[in-house]
Amino acid sequence: MSDCPGRVMVIGAHPDDADFRAGGCAKLWKDLGFEVVFISATNGDAGHHEIGGGMLAQRRAAEAQASGDVIGIEYRLLEIHDAELVPSLEYRKLFITLIREFGPDLLFTHRPWDYHPDHRYTGQLVMDASFLVTVPNVCPLARHMDQSPVILYMEDGFQKPLPFQPDVVVDTDSALAEKGLMLHSHGSQVYEWLSRGVEVPTDTARR
């Protein structure tokens, strides 16, 4: 029998979504001995104002790996183009298989209300997979789960159609340093794409 007290999967739409919304919790889970995996539903190859395509996808994969290394977790990127995720049958089956193969007890994802279609459809795909992961004759080559994981939504600021209302609040102050290093790993986002119009230091220490 495994000594692991539980398994946690965080599915974000892009490389860095899981870090921003659940990086602190992930550090606390790891400290408690949980198995944790971050999944990015897209490869992030459009998330920049100067570079894109394969070059950006490779850079963001390296950034995600560096972020995962900060707290010792696996960080996986799916080969779906940024801004091209749709709630299709093909991707539903992909999500069902991913969830079954890892077998999470707890799964975090986006709410299916968001200005960004990748965020919205990531939440939709998890919702669509949530019951079907227990159905043996759906995706039968990946063994079905005996029960669905507990699925929770990551915090967001959207007020319509339904404002976010937390059911569980976790104090992650003790993990702030590690979360900061995780976000620091996503240089193409934190210091470039998301900081357009802001003067950002170029040296690591000042960043």
If DSSP states are collapsed to H, E and C, what string results for 143-165?
Answer: CCCCCCCEEEECCCCCCCCCCCC
Whether 118 is in a domain gets the answer yes
Residue 206 lies in a domain: no
- Number of domains the chain is built from: 1
Give the model's pLDDT for residue 156: 94
**80 assigned to some structural domain:** yes
Establish if 128 belongs to a structural domain. yes
Residue 50 inside a domain? The answer is yes
14 is in which domain, residue-wise? 7-195
d(CA 23, CA 146): 28
Residue 2, in any domain of the structure: no
**Cβ(38)–Cβ(135) below 8 Å:** no
pLDDT of residue 2: 62
Q: What is the pTM of this model?
A: 0.96
CATH (domain of 100): 3.40.50.10320
Burial of 96 (0-12, 13-18, 19+ CB in 10 A): buried
Sign of CA dihedral 96, 54, 193, 29: positive
- 3-class state of residue 29 by DSSP: helix
Residue 201 placed within a domain? no
Query: Is 63 a domain residue?
Result: yes
- For residue 115, the model assigns a pLDDT of 87
Compute mean pLDDT per 10 residues along the chain, 207 residues long, and list them: 85 98 98 98 97 98 98 98 98 98 98 93 98 98 97 93 93 98 97 94 90
